[in-house]
Structure 1
Amino acid sequence: MSEPARAPGGVLDDLRDESDALDLLVAALPPGRWTAPTPAPRWSVAHQIAHLAWTDEAALLAATDPAAFAAHVAEAAAAPDTFVDDGAEALAALPPDALRERWRAARARLQAALRALPPGTRVPWYGPPMSATALATARLMETWAHGQDVADALGAVRPPTARLRHVAWIGVRARDYAFAVRGLAPPAGEFRVELDAPGSAAVWAFGPADAPQRVTGPALDFCLLVTRRAHRADLALHAAGPDADRWLDIAQAFAGPPGEGRAPRKETR
Structure 2
Amino acid sequence: MTASQDVLGEVLADLRAESAELDGLVAGLPPMAWAAATPAAGWTVAHQIAHLAWTDQRALLAASDPEAFRREAEEFLARAPGASFIDDGAEEGARLPQGEMLERWRTGRAALEEALAGLTPGVRLPWYGTSMSAASMATARIMETWAHGTDIAEGLGVAREPTDRLRHVVRIGVRARDFAYAVRGLEPPAEPFRVEVTGPGGDVWVHGPRDASQRVTGDALDFCRLVTQRLHRDDARVRAEGAEAERWLGIAQAFAGPPGGGRERRGAPAPEGDE
TM-score bin (small chain): over 0.9
Match in the other structure for 1:50:
50
Identity %: 62
Match in the other structure for 2:39:
39
Matched-pair contact (CA < 8 Å) for 1:234–1:266 = no
1:109 counterpart = 2:108: no
CA distance in structure 1 between the partners assigned to 2:76 and 2:167 by the alignment = 31
| Greater Cα shift, 16-25 or 114-123 | 114-123
Matched letter for residue 214 of structure 2: Q
Match in the other structure for 1:87:
89
Match in the other structure for 2:151:
149
Question: Structure 1's 259 and 28: CA in aligned 2 closer, same or farther, altered over 3 A?
Answer: same
Matched-pair contact (CA < 8 Å) for 1:233–1:266 = no
Instruction: Render the CA deviation track for 1:115-153: whole Å, top value 9, x for unaligned.
Output: 111212222222332211111111111111111110110
Match in the other structure for 1:65:
65
Match in the other structure for 1:223:
224
Q: Offset at 1:246?
A: 1.1
CA distance in structure 1 between the partners assigned to 2:129 and 2:184 by the alignment = 17
For 1:259, what is the secondary structure of its paired residue? coil
Match in the other structure for 1:20:
20
Match in the other structure for 1:258:
259
Q: Offset at 1:241?
A: 0.8
Match in the other structure for 2:271:
none
CA distance in structure 1 between the partners assigned to 2:194 and 2:12 by the alignment = 27
CA distance in structure 1 between the partners assigned to 2:68 and 2:7 by the alignment = 26
1:213 counterpart = 2:217: no
CA distance in structure 2 between the partners assigned to 1:105 and 1:238 by the alignment = 41
CA distance in structure 2 between the partners assigned to 1:59 and 1:80 by the alignment = 21
How many residues get paired?
Answer: 263
State TM-score, norm by structure 2.
0.92
Matched-pair contact (CA < 8 Å) for 2:128–2:257 = no
For 1:147, what is the secondary structure of its paired residue? helix
Matched-pair contact (CA < 8 Å) for 2:5–2:121 = no
Alignment of 1:191-210 (within 5 A): 191-200=193-202, 202-210=203-211
Q: Offset at 1:186?
A: 1.6
CA distance in structure 2 between the partners assigned to 1:94 and 1:132 by the alignment = 30
Q: Which runs of 5+ in 2 are unaligned?
A: 269-275
CA distance in structure 1 between the partners assigned to 2:121 and 2:247 by the alignment = 38
CA distance in structure 1 between the partners assigned to 2:104 and 2:5 by the alignment = 32
Matched letter for residue 184 of structure 2: R
Q: Offset at 1:266?
A: 6.1
Q: Offset at 1:189?
A: 1.0
Matched-pair contact (CA < 8 Å) for 1:193–1:214 = yes
Question: Structure 1's 12 and 29: CA in aligned 2 closer, same or farther, altered over 3 A?
Answer: same
State TM-score, norm by structure 1.
0.93
Q: Offset at 1:223?
A: 0.2
| Greater Cα shift, 81-90 or 49-58 | 81-90
Matched letter for residue 175 of structure 2: R
